[in-house]
Structure 1
Amino acid sequence: MLDIVIEARMAQISEGFAVKRILPYQLRRMIGPFIFMDHGGPLNIPIESIRSLDVLPHPHIGLSTVSYLFSGMVTHRDSLGVEQIITPGEVNWMTAGKGIVHSERFEDPVMLAGGKLEMIQTWVALPEKEEESDPSFTNYKPTQLPVFTDKGVWMRLIAGDAYGLTSEVKTHSPLFYVHVELDQGAHFGLPVGHSERGAYIVRGSLEVNGIIYKSGQLLVFTKGIDPLLIAKEQSTVMMLGGEHLGERFIWWNFVSSKKERIEQAKEDWKQGRIILPPMDNQEFVPLPEDKSKPAGGPSPNHLS
């Protein structure tokens, strides 16, 4: 029934911001087109420490980044000239294509000092024919995303198709991405019609086939199996998956079906050939020391 259970590992993405890294994992690099997943927070941050959270301008190729907040606020700026504040329930969908640079700043001291910050960021690999497409950015409001409710269940379809619903979010390949809130004792199933499916437990715990799984675990299910998920307590779950796109290489913030394309992107960033965001161009993340080849996966300095 379960193909694998992936335990989140800690990773540092800026001076003061450690996250739980779920994908990629050595034994399971992708679920459908999803090749990366980080869970940040929840964090309560003193005002004097806010600056250390910022993720400075950094490049991407060959993927879409998908940012989704449970709480808090993040300011996105990119090399297209976009400046967008993302708040809970919204979706920032940025397609890098042939290349984009963006930053993520945490600029609301009242919110960070008195509340919480918690977010999920995933990366979706692009089909080969889209890898060199023009970059783009879209922010989607919660009212644009389908919501379903039932006894003990609240669900928002972030992207793709699931449970007979379709999201307005523009995607490049068949997939689903769902935020689910479950009351204690609630039952819920995985979407059908997708070849690869996973459920990440943000908080709470789930029982599957008599075994209890806890927060920080990603459950990856065998194709063709439709298990029942039972919430053992109030639980938040992110479900994701879709159709596999084929082999992808990943190094730092670069994803491609071709190793040589990643090498080119590394040199382009090192030589300053990728432009910085016009409203955030005074600092940037330098290219990390190359300790691995693209097939070896992300470096320890992986950034969102």
Structure 2
Amino acid sequence: MSTLEKNLEQECRLEQGCGALKTVIHPKEKNLGGFSVRRCLPNTGYKTVGPWVFFDHMGPAEFPAGEGINVRPHPHINIATVTYLFDGEILHRDSLGSEQAIRPGDINLMVAGSGIVHSERERPAVRDSAHRLHGLQLWLALPDQYAEMDPEFHHYPSDAIPSLMVDGVATRVIMGTAFGVTSPVKTFAETLYVEMHLQPGQSVELPMAAERAVYVASGAIQARDMEIPTHSMGIFAADEGVVITASEESRIAVIGGENVGPRRIVWNFVAATEARLASAISDWKSGRFPKVPGDSAEFIPFPGSD
């Protein structure tokens, strides 16, 4: 695991809630040179929520012309990455030959399976002007029967994602089924991912899931007598009829679903066994992963090997 990941990974303060709200996670914010990242998963209290094994909130960041996101090619196995932007744009390239700009409201679903390499950069037209970036990046553990499937890439434009009003609350069902609608985004186990935009004083009942959490990207919400402040994640029990109320205008992400079993994480690799991690590390160090067409001149070395 890199020094950066060690610093970003849990240093989270857990507070005990009551009733349906079990815990509140407060991730530490790290500034990566004008770009802030907050990591809620994994942490020492909760490694996963349903199939979700990784949750990063990036930004909001303001970049001057000539600066921005520039992540060199790097590998993944046995997961699907899910990228969702509130503002800005990221250019995705991968070893399947995919090249796709993701914009606000879109979903990029990259299924690593047996192994994939990708980069995250910006188009020159974006980088050459002052711009903003704000969004969420999550990793979804693949169930054992799909862990070594052939890699895939799926892009879902914003207008393909179901939008509806739930008790007056603007809602998008990004993955899974909630509030009577089902997202077209591909899933591999019971999966929940919903975005909601609440106005001050609005209340809404959380959709059910075997495991679930609410992340407050902006604003603050109340769950019974406990507040979940901005940039915090509340872990909820699977109780029915759980209602949250916005203390102020708030944008939240509701995640959850079926736990697919314990996973180990080393650097960018996630697997069910140490042996699979070891083979992936060896393959990356030895250059056996595929290259990214159009972006093969550089890569991120495994930590400690550069």
TM-score by length of 1: 0.90
One-letter code of the match for 1:38?
D
Q: 1:38 aligns with which of 29, 34, 56?
A: 56
Q: Describe the superposition over 1:64-107 as per-residue Cα deviations: whole angstroms up to 9, x where unpaired.
A: 00000000000000000000000000000000000000000023
Q: Does 1:129 align with 2:145?
A: yes
Counterpart CA distance in 2 for 1:264 and 1:9 is 32
Structure 1 stretches of 4+ moved >4 Å: 108-113
Aligned to 2:216: 201
SS state at 1:269 partner: helix
Counterpart CA distance in 2 for 1:207 and 1:172 is 32
Q: Is contact 2:221–2:228 with CA below 8 Å preserved after alignment?
A: yes
Counterpart CA distance in 2 for 1:180 and 1:227 is 15
Q: Is contact 1:44–1:113 with CA below 8 Å preserved after alignment?
A: no
Q: Does 1:9 align with 2:25?
A: no
Q: 1:252 aligns with which of 255, 267, 274?
A: 267
One-letter code of the match for 2:201?
G
Unaligned 5+ runs, structure 2: 1-19
Q: Is contact 1:195–1:224 with CA below 8 Å preserved after alignment?
A: no
One-letter code of the match for 2:257?
G
Q: Is contact 1:47–1:109 with CA below 8 Å preserved after alignment?
A: no
TM superposition shift of 1:140: 0.2
Counterpart CA distance in 1 for 2:176 and 2:166 is 21
Counterpart CA distance in 2 for 1:287 and 1:9 is 24
Q: Is contact 2:166–2:179 with CA below 8 Å preserved after alignment?
A: no
Counterpart CA distance in 2 for 1:180 and 1:272 is 42
Counterpart CA distance in 1 for 2:124 and 2:170 is 29
Aligned to 1:211: 226
One-letter code of the match for 1:244?
N
TM superposition shift of 1:26: 1.0
Q: Describe the superposition over 1:237-296 as per-residue Cα deviations: whole angstroms up to 9, x where unpaired.
A: 000000111111111111111111001000100000002201110111000139xxxxxx
One-letter code of the match for 1:23?
L
SS state at 1:184 partner: coil
Counterpart CA distance in 2 for 1:179 and 1:112 is 31
Q: Describe the superposition over 1:20-45 as per-residue Cα deviations: whole angstroms up to 9, x where unpaired.
A: 11111111000000000101111111
Aligned to 1:261: 276
Q: Is contact 1:149–1:155 with CA below 8 Å preserved after alignment?
A: yes
Q: Is contact 2:66–2:128 with CA below 8 Å preserved after alignment?
A: no
Counterpart CA distance in 2 for 1:209 and 1:111 is 44
TM superposition shift of 1:187: 0.4
TM superposition shift of 1:5: 1.0
TM superposition shift of 1:121: 0.4
Counterpart CA distance in 2 for 1:37 and 1:241 is 12
TM superposition shift of 1:227: 2.1
SS state at 1:157 partner: strand
Q: Is contact 1:152–1:184 with CA below 8 Å preserved after alignment?
A: no
Counterparts of residues 271-286 of structure 1 (less than 5 Å): 271-286=286-301
One-letter code of the match for 2:67?
S
How many pairs align?
286
Unaligned 5+ runs, structure 1: 291-304
Counterpart CA distance in 1 for 2:126 and 2:278 is 42
Q: Does 1:223 align with 2:238?
A: yes
Aligned to 2:175: 159
Q: 1:59 aligns with which of 55, 75, 88?
A: 75
Counterpart CA distance in 2 for 1:78 and 1:91 is 15
Please say which of residues 239-248 and 223-232 is displaced more in the overlay: 223-232
Q: Is contact 2:24–2:228 with CA below 8 Å preserved after alignment?
A: no
TM superposition shift of 1:16: 5.8
Distance 1:199 1:268, change over 3 A: same
Distance 1:65 1:204, change over 3 A: same
Counterpart CA distance in 1 for 2:273 and 2:34 is 33
Please say which of residues 3-12 and 160-169 is displaced more in the overlay: 3-12
TM superposition shift of 1:134: 0.2
Please say which of residues 239-248 and 146-155 is displaced more in the overlay: 146-155
TM superposition shift of 1:11: 4.5
Q: Does 1:235 align with 2:217?
A: no
SS state at 1:44 partner: strand
Tell me the C-alpha RMSD between the 2 structures: 1.7
